[in-house]
Amino acid sequence: MSKRKSTERQEIICAILSECDHKPLASFELSAREEKFFRARSKKAVAAAARNTAHFTNAYPLPVAKPFQAVLGASLAVILAAWALAAVYLYVFEPTDKSPIVNGCLAIMVVAIGWVVVGGITHRNIIRQKTYDVLFARFSQAQFGDAVHRFHRKFGFDETVGITQKELDELRKNDDDEDWRAAASVGFLLNYFEVMASGVVKDDLHEGIVRENFRGVICFYHDKCWPIIEQANAANHRTFANLMRLKTYYDSLDELRSLRRRNLIFLAVAGAVAALLALAILRA
């Protein structure tokens, strides 16, 4: 993604919004005050979106769910509640020996922290094991292998040549059973990768393991079937939504890695020049 000025990014966002189907502003019968309010908020929202699309921050944040955060919150609530009750007890009754109360609160804190540590390790191991099971299960699934074979035999291996919905409709019209199976393989594989992407987004599958082992495969089928994905998502925004999020995230990682590499080179050169200048000044 090339570098663009903030004003240009705002214009791009406004242009995209103008392509959406929506009712005209006059149809809402806004008062002058309401219109002024919404225009100001809209301008701020566009400016914020432009800042988020800056070249240095163009990495797309994958919206991964964090179900284990509930355990962290519960343990923190237990610790805070224990100390709060202890403080109330000490304030009301003013016991001479406060050590049992303090020791009890410390014991509760240790138990809560241990619960979090053990639960976190167990949760991580379960997610990793489940991810490996899902990734390697495809080798033992005959249906997956047949779908891949029919897909590539019919549509080839060039991801730059996309598959359109019109092609699938023509294949389904034929009486040839092999054409039917080839068309069905597209839907099977796309739904398979959508389920995998959904598992990553919901934190049911380990994002790092999926990225390291399956990133190229996901990107290939996404690009190869992009016309179908785009048309289906336009009809229903939830269709293949997780697969699109995951592919956008992967693309942004490449851009961010390239940007960081250029920044490191620039900083190294600048540091070397600064060091040489400092050395020259000291010798003068």
Query: Would you place residue 1 in the very low, low, confident or very high pLDDT band (cuts 50, 70, 90)?
Result: low
Q: How far apart are CA 225 and CA 234, in angstroms?
A: 14
**What is the per-residue pLDDT for 3?**
63
Residue 140 confidence (pLDDT) above 50 = yes
Q: Tens of pLDDT along 62-85?
A: 767 777 788 888 899 999 999 999
Query: Do residues 232 and 239 make contact, with C-beta atoms less than 8 angstroms apart?
Result: yes
Q: How far apart are CA 86 and CA 63, in angstroms?
A: 39
Helix (H, G, I), strand (E, B) or coil at 68: coil
**What is the per-residue pLDDT for 184?**
92
**What is the per-residue pLDDT for 13?**
85
Q: How far apart are CA 261 and CA 53, in angstroms?
A: 19
Q: Tens of pLDDT along 31-49?
A: 888 888 888 998 888 888 8
Give me the count of residues in the chain: 284
- Mean per-residue pLDDT for 206-225? 92
pTM of the full predicted structure?
Answer: 0.69
Query: Do residues 225 and 162 make contact, with C-beta atoms less than 8 angstroms apart?
Result: yes
Domain map (residue ranges) of the chain: 6-57, 67-140, 142-247
Helix (H, G, I), strand (E, B) or coil at 14: helix
Q: Tens of pLDDT along 6-36?
A: 788 888 888 888 887 778 888 888 888 888 8
Tabulate helix, strand, coil % of the chain (nearest 5).
Answer: 80, 0, 20
Residue 134 confidence (pLDDT) above 50 = yes
Q: Which of 62-71, 125-134, 139-148, 162-171 has the lowest mean pLDDT?
A: 62-71
Phi and psi of 116, rounded to 5°?
-65, -45
How would you label 182-198 residue by residue, b for 16+ Cβ within 10 Å and e otherwise? bbbbbebbbebbbebbb
Average pLDDT, the chain: 86
Range with the largest mean pLDDT of 43-57, 124-138, 245-259: 124-138
Cα dist from 94 to 81, 83, 98, 141, 221, whole Å: 19, 15, 8, 69, 70
Q: How far apart are CA 248 and CA 256, in angstroms?
A: 12
**What is the per-residue pLDDT for 56?**
47
Query: Would you place residue 139 in the very low, low, confident or very high pLDDT band (cuts 50, 70, 90)?
Result: confident
- What type of residue sits at position 187? G
Q: Tens of pLDDT along 228-270?
A: 999 999 899 899 999 998 998 888 776 666 666 777 888 888 8
